[in-house]
Amino acid sequence: MSRNNISTLEFTHLPVTKKGILEVHLQGNPIQKVNFGKEDYELLRSNSTVNLTVIIDSKLDCDCHGAWFARSLREQHMSFDNVRCADDVLVVLYEPSRLECDKYNCGACTCRRSWHDNTTRVNCKPGELHTWPRVPLLIEVHASNNLIETIHMEDLSDTLIFLDLSNNRIARVDSAVAETLFAVPERRMRLSYNPLVCDCDNKPFLDALKNHHNQIEDYSNITCVGDGRTLQDLDTEMLCNAKKFIMWIVLLATGGMLVGLATFIGALYCRYAQSIKIFLYARGICLCCMAEDELDTDRQYDAFISFTHEDEKFVIENLLPELEKTYKICVHFRDWIVGDMILTQITRSVESSRRTIVVLSKKFVKSLWGMLEFRTAHITALSEGRVRVIVVIIDDVAEDNTLDVQLRSYLRTNTYLKWGDPWFWDKLKYAMPRLPPTTITNPRQVNATRVGQDAIHSSTLVRRENQSHTDVILE
């Protein structure tokens, strides 16, 4: 059957004989593959009377599918004279470890799984690869001429024994990864032509490279970026000595400046203490160093509660009893002056209170006076650049898509409290003004205040308004 167009040889189609040796001549055919599986191998091994010699002159694609074929030839169950693989190695001499199965694309790379032990080899094309694929039982990585900038701990599997990262962008590797990189004694690698930074911060990696140079095939070609020094000529101890010398010079040069600056700041603070406190508190800086009553000494109330009359029962039965253990509260039905205009009363209550607590509900948003109280408090807070409005939601009003634009914007950009939250009272007391300890005399007040102070250290529940969003609201 010589000089035909057979590209795949089906073993089960070959003739057999029990009388002498049958020769099948297939020279001149473009045969690349022999379909021969485990069942065929078992058949030949059990039938010693099969005498078959096949003569071909083409080279086979020796992948995983040819493993049983190669094994049968090695054990001389049949004879394929001078049959070779694509790399010109005789099939009978082809090592099982080199037979590959499941050749597939894995990202910008090609993954090949070995028939012998299921390990995987990764070959990556030169280009824009930033990391190689993480696959099970990875044994080799060929990823030179790419854009890999560092090595991650997750990249270094215990099975990895060869790593080619030459001509990438590796500048630094942290100490833990550097130690793991050489933890497998059999592991070999190529790392030349990377922009390696040779400074004190990178010393653990540099030392690891020098101490394990026998594992680096191109160690003599590894150089430092900038000056081009080879790693084998680099004294890593001098790197840190030079850094310490520079640090001492910098410390001495800046020491005098810091002392002078501290003296200048101290003098400014003594002269403008109150103004500085107001500036820092308005920006949420050093709140633990001041009590808020220093900044709001002219305000009569700790909080003004804004609510619609339909939610009055909730305020009387829930908020007032707990808040008035510690704070001085303003409510319209008790503290407003009879006969004054409502608009004047609203403005006065907001301006004389350190906080405005808005009891927000579906009924509240339908109240003309309720929304006016919210806007008054919000605009006052914006003008001062401070957080003064505390929103307490008592129903599902936050899910209403028809809310007033300004109110909806406020809820989207500020933290609000939800009635029924297990941490509701801790969050509310955190948002309330911070009172100096000397103003609390009742033991129940002390306990309530301590809960609020503990929450300061364990929560971040009220956010300061974003300045850029404030501009949007004002527009």
Residue where the block lists tokens 């010589």: 2
Q: Which has the higher per-residue pLDDT, 127 or 283?
A: 127
Q: Which has the higher per-residue pLDDT, 94 or 347?
A: 347
Q: What average pLDDT does range 452-474 have in this prediction?
A: 32
The pLDDT value given to residue 445: 43
The domains found in the chain, sorted by start residue, are 8-94 (no CATH), 100-234 (3.80.10.10), 288-474 (3.40.50.10140)
Residue 438 has pLDDT above 70, yes or no: no
The pLDDT value given to residue 128: 82
The pLDDT value given to residue 211: 92
Q: With bands split at pLDDT 50, 70 and 90, how would you rate the model's confidence at 99?
A: low
User: Residues of the chain with pLDDT > 90: what percent?
Assistant: 21
The pLDDT value given to residue 92: 75
Identity at 463, one-letter amino acid code: R
Q: What average pLDDT does range 33-41 have in this prediction?
A: 82
What does the buried/exposed string (b/e) look like for 316-329 if buried means 16 or more CB atoms within 10 Å of the residue's CB?
Answer: eeebeeebeebbbb
Residue 177 has pLDDT above 90, yes or no: yes
Where is 353: in which H helix or E strand?
A: strand 353-360
Q: Give the pair of three-digit tokens for residue 331.
A: 């409510």
Q: For residue 452, give the 3-state DSSP assignment.
A: helix
Q: With bands split at pLDDT 50, 70 and 90, how would you rate the model's confidence at 440?
A: very low
CA gap 225, 202 in Å, rounded: 12
Fill in the DSSP letter of residue 219. Answer: G
The pLDDT value given to residue 459: 32
Q: What average pLDDT does range 103-132 have in this prediction?
A: 85
The pLDDT value given to residue 473: 30
Q: Which has the higher per-residue pLDDT, 79 or 424?
A: 424
Q: Give the pair of three-digit tokens for residue 135.
A: 């696959």
Q: With bands split at pLDDT 50, 70 and 90, how would you rate the model's confidence at 91?
A: confident
Q: With bands split at pLDDT 50, 70 and 90, how would you rate the model's confidence at 467?
A: very low
Residue where the block lists tokens 């300890």: 437
Q: With bands split at pLDDT 50, 70 and 90, how would you rate the model's confidence at 455?
A: very low
Residues contacting 391, CB < 8 A, separation 6+: 358, 360, 410, 411, 414, 416, 417
Residue 180 has pLDDT above 90, yes or no: yes
Q: Give the pair of three-digit tokens for residue 163.
A: 């790593």
Q: What is the edge-to-edge ordering of all strands in the sheet holding 79-81?
A: 22-25, 52-55, 79-81
Q: Give the pair of three-digit tokens for residue 312.
A: 């009055």
CA gap 335, 130 in Å, rounded: 68
The pLDDT value given to residue 228: 87
Q: With bands split at pLDDT 50, 70 and 90, how would you rate the model's confidence at 171?
A: very high
Residue 242 has pLDDT above 70, yes or no: no
Average pLDDT, whole number, for the chain? 78
Q: With bands split at pLDDT 50, 70 and 90, how would you rate the model's confidence at 295?
A: low
The pLDDT value given to residue 243: 58
Q: Which has the higher per-residue pLDDT, 291 or 263?
A: 263
Kindly provide the residue ranges of all beta strands, DSSP E only, lying in 72-216, ordered along the sequence.
Answer: 79-81, 84-85, 100-106, 109-114, 120-124, 138-142, 162-164, 188-190
Confirm whether pTM is higher than 0.75. Answer: no
Instruction: With beta carbons less than 8 A apart as the criterion, state whether 319 and 359 touch.
Output: yes
Q: Which has the higher per-residue pLDDT, 117 or 65?
A: 117
The pLDDT value given to residue 341: 82
Q: With bands split at pLDDT 50, 70 and 90, how would you rate the model's confidence at 172?
A: very high
Residues 58-88: tens digit of each pLDDT: 887 776 667 777 778 877 777 777 788 877 7
CA gap 252, 239 in Å, rounded: 21
Residue 47 has pLDDT above 80, yes or no: no
Q: What average pLDDT does range 413-440 have in this prediction?
A: 77
Closest CA to 352 of 399, 389, 297: 297
CA gap 432, 450 in Å, rounded: 13
The pLDDT value given to residue 286: 60
Residues 384-400: tens digit of each pLDDT: 666 778 889 888 887 77
Q: Give the pair of three-digit tokens for residue 350.
A: 């907001």
